[in-house]
């Protein structure tokens, strides 16, 4: 699976989406089913590499001829979160496709550009280790760890 976003933001997005969906199908082969509405939400989330709010997703569903109500979308989002297929960006109340094939979904780090709104998912082993260690030192048993950077991406810095 290769969802790498280049610094220019150019990549074969059709491939990117289809491989994300294939991965989702594979992961949901068991009892956890990727139903039609869940799949639709996942597709919408994957339309871009920009995080989408739940109500943005609702709008798109309405435009696509699949109008829905908030609980429908939140249920699908919660399912996708549980399956590790998407992430929630807490600092912006928004959701984004998970670009990693890791299964132990409890860690992710995001760099969020405040100009172009793109969110780049990191998986930095050094950082991961430092995070694990910091928590350990405090005697915490960690369920979940979120790291969100806000700033300006390399591409937008060049543009400015």
Interface positions with DNA (CB under 7 A): 31-33, 35-38, 53-56, 68-72, 74-76, 78-79, 93-94
Least distance in Å: CB of 144 to DNA? 15
User: 25-28: long-range contacts (C-beta < 8 A, 24 or more apart)?
Assistant: 27/83, 27/84, 27/85, 28/83
Two tokens, residue 109: 């780090």
Task: State yes or no: residue 32 binds a second copy (CB under 8 A).
Answer: no
Mark the segment that binds a second copy (CB under 8 A) among 51-59, 71-79, 97-105, 124-132: 124-132
Q: How far is the CB of 104 from DNA (least distance, A)?
A: 22
Q: Is 85 exposed, middle or buried (0-12, 13-18, 19+ CB in 10 A)?
A: buried
Integer angstrom CA distances of residue 4 from 14, 15, 153: 13, 11, 15
Residues 11, 19, 66, 148: which binds a second copy (CB under 8 A)? 148
Q: Write down the least CB distance from residue 55 to DNA, Å.
A: 4
54 touches a second copy by CB under 8 A: no
| Cα–Cα distances in angstroms (integers) from residue 65 to residues 40, 58, 59, 68, 96, in the given order | 11, 11, 10, 9, 22
Quote the least distance from Cβ 151 to a second copy, whole Å. 4
Closest CB 63 distance from DNA, rounded Å:
16
Q: What is the footprint of a second copy within residues 79-98 (CB under 8 A)? A: 90-91
**What secondary structure letter does DSSP report for 83?**
T
β-strand partners of 8 = none
Give the number of C-alpha atoms closer than 13 A to the C-alpha of residue 105, restricted to the C-beta side. 15
Chain residues in the site for a second copy (CB under 8 A): 7, 90-91, 109, 111, 113-114, 120, 122, 124, 126-127, 129-131, 133-135, 137-154, 157
């Amino acid at each position: 699976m290769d969802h790498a976003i280049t610094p220019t933001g150019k990549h074969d997005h059709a491939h990117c989406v289809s491989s994300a969906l294939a991965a989702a199908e594979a992961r949901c082969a068991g009892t956890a089913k990727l139903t039609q509405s869940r799949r639709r939400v996942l597709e919408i989330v994957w339309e871009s590499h920009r995080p989408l709010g739940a109500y943005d997703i609702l709008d798109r569903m309405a435009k696509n001829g699949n109008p829905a109500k908030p609980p429908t979308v939140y249920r699908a989002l919660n399912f996708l979160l549980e399956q590790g297929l998407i992430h929630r960006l807490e600092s912006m109340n928004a959701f984004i496709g998970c670009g990693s094939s890791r299964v132990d979904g409890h860690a992710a780090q995001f760099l969020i550009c405040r100009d172009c709104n793109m969110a780049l998912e990191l998986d930095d082993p050094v950082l991961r280790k430092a995070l694990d260690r910091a928590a350990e030192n405090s005697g915490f048993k960690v369920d979940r760890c979120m790291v969100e950077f806000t700033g300006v991406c390399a591409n937008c810095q060049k543009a400015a």
